[in-house]
Amino acid sequence: MKRGSACVLSLWLALAIAPAFAAENPDVLRLNQRLQALQTDPRYAEAAAFERLQAQQAVAALAQARRKEQPDALYLAERRVEIAETAARTVLARRDLDQAERNLGELRLEVSRRDAERARAEAERLRMQMQMQAEETERLRAEADAEAQARAQAEDSLDLLAGQQAAKITAADRKEAQLARQEAELVSGQKLPASKFDNRGEVFTLGNDSFEAGLAGLSRAGQDSVSALAAYLQAVPKAKARIAGYGDAQTPGQRRAEALHSALVAAGVAKVRLRVGDGGKATRNRVAEIIVTR
């Protein structure tokens, strides 16, 4: 038999015997009533059974004690009863504490579960929000790419159109220049100097033989070129010319440019259509340039 059950059985036997002694001793009756209250209280059940048995034995010893032994027996019996009561209350308190701890653990578990659910819900909300932002960002990027592509295509089209237009204008200008050249040579009876087109316009170049040696005056060949150039400018009324003279140690370029200017004016070209400047150092094949712009 287990110790707890044996203690309970012994306690019941002690309580059954105790009334026989309690009739003659009020202290025994009082202490037995306290023990009986512990025994019959369902909250305590088998709690502190051993301590209660010891208390009942001490009460029984008090009942049987001689007169001179009774003070010590009473002190021991009261202490044993108090110990039994305290032990029973301690067991009950421990049970209540264990139950409170279990309740607290369950409460914490429930709180953790709810926190986890809220965290999952918040995480899902943030995930959806980020997904929507990513989709919106991708949509805006696609729109920006499409817009940039359309703009690039439009610019390419404009560049192509501008190039085509420029090519048409250039072709028209050169056609006009060719017709004006033919007309000028026919009218003047002289050949125009060689020319080329660059970013400045149509450039006519006069060589060293267009001026007298070491002088700014025009030679016969230079006069013939001026006659043809004047006729050319007359054939293109809207054109203007910039005269650049190139010099050497004997003759400044500015003087050669002014000589050409005077000859063209004398040939009928309006002064407002002409500008004069020093072009720098001359070479054998270039002592002056007439740059015609339309």
CATH of the domain at 209: 3.30.1330.60
> Of 48, 79, 104, which residue sits at a domain end?
104
pLDDT tens for 126-150 read 888 888 888 887 888 888 788 778 7
Residue with tokens 């059974």: 49
Please check whether residue 148 lies inside any domain of the structure. no
Please check whether residue 158 lies inside any domain of the structure. no
CB-based contacts of 199: which residues, under 8 Å, 6+ apart?
A: none
Please check whether residue 24 lies inside any domain of the structure. yes
pTM for the whole thing? 0.46
Please check whether residue 35 lies inside any domain of the structure. yes
**282, two tokens:** 């001359």
pLDDT at position 8, please?
47
pLDDT at position 239, please?
93
Instruction: Pick the closest to residue 241 from 273, 194, 265 (CA basis).
Output: 273
Cβ atoms of 205 and 285 closer than 8 Å? yes
> Of 43, 74, 104, which residue sits at a domain end?
104
Partners of 170 in beta bridges: none
pLDDT tens for 200-254 read 999 999 998 999 887 888 999 999 999 999 999 999 999 999 999 999 888 899 9
pLDDT at position 165, please?
64
CB-based contacts of 196: which residues, under 8 Å, 6+ apart?
A: 202, 203, 205
Do 98 and 193 share a domain, yes or no?
A: no
> Of 104, 136, 169, which residue sits at a domain end?
104
Q: Give how many domains the chain has, as a whole number.
A: 2
Please check whether residue 116 lies inside any domain of the structure. no
Partners of 155 in beta bridges: none
pLDDT at position 34, please?
93
Please check whether residue 234 lies inside any domain of the structure. yes
Residues in the chain, pLDDT under 50: 1-2, 8, 12-15, 17-18, 20-22
Residue 99 is part of which domain span? 3-104
Partners of 243 in beta bridges: 276, 290
Please check whether residue 160 lies inside any domain of the structure. no
Please check whether residue 91 lies inside any domain of the structure. yes
